[in-house]
Amino acid sequence: MNIQWYPGHMTKTRRMMEENISLVDVVIELIDARIPYSSKNPEIDELAKNKYRIIVMNKSDLADDRATEIWTKYFEDKGFKVLLTDAKSGKGVNSVTNMAKDLMAEKIARLKQKGRIFVPVRAMIVGIPNVGKSTFINKYVGKTTAKTGDKPGVTRGKQWIKVKKDFELLDTPGILWPKFEDPEVGLKLAFTGAINDDILDMETAAYEFINLMVATYPDRLRERYNVEFDTIEPVHEIFEK
């Protein structure tokens, strides 16, 4: 099952990001902690190559703790600051302010030495569709400023949000990249809601999901659906159960 999804509005979003990247100091990228590799848009690294970077591993409450530790170290070794969050409950969300200010500390000090009295931190927040960006922003700001939904594509335009007197956030729509080279990436994005259901063969996707879970977390599958099965059973039999 080879899934590809790159609707026209994403081309427009990428162009908007390119036009506005010079206005910010920090790029905050939300990824899904359950699928860190698959949910990290490779095009963001090129777009934000001269900016301070924060990787927010959202939905960390749903992820494998040991795997999260490994991925955290992986991203830190590449020079990113990493923050674990659960945007739904708000856990970890407010830590992003100090993390961004720490990254900006030297630049702020230099500008103040040159006579700038007030130096706000401006950040762009990016991520794939349905990664929890709007929920993250609403918890962060403390009020509903971004529309949320359980389907991809809820946010369609940019908006500046004043979080604090000295911290401004540029919200952007969720964006994927034009082609998933690895079919497994497309599948995992589909499993976690980043792909529009309308383009999917849901039964085939369910078979693929069962295959993945049987190979990696069979007990989770048993617990979630309250079924018993042997890992050598044919997928269609597990599906029927």
Rounded distance between C-alpha atoms, residue 24 and residue 15, angstroms: 15
- Structure pTM? 0.89
Which pLDDT band holds residue 162 (cuts at 50, 70, 90)?
confident
Is the CB of residue 3 less than 8 Å from the CB of residue 183?
Answer: yes
Distance CA 190, CA 201 (A): 10
Domains annotated on the chain, with CATH: 8-171 (3.40.50.300), 183-240 (no CATH)
Taking residue 144's Cβ as centre, other Cβ atoms within 10 Å add up to 10
Give 39-76 pLDDT, tens digit per residue: 999 999 999 999 999 999 999 999 999 999 999 999 99
Q: How far is CA 86 from CA 48, 58, 235, in A?
A: 24, 6, 32
Asked if 51 and 26 count as a contact pair (C-beta separation under 8 A), the reply is: yes
How does pLDDT run across 91-112, given as a tens digit for each residue?
Answer: 999 999 999 999 999 998 998 8
β-pair partners for 32: 58
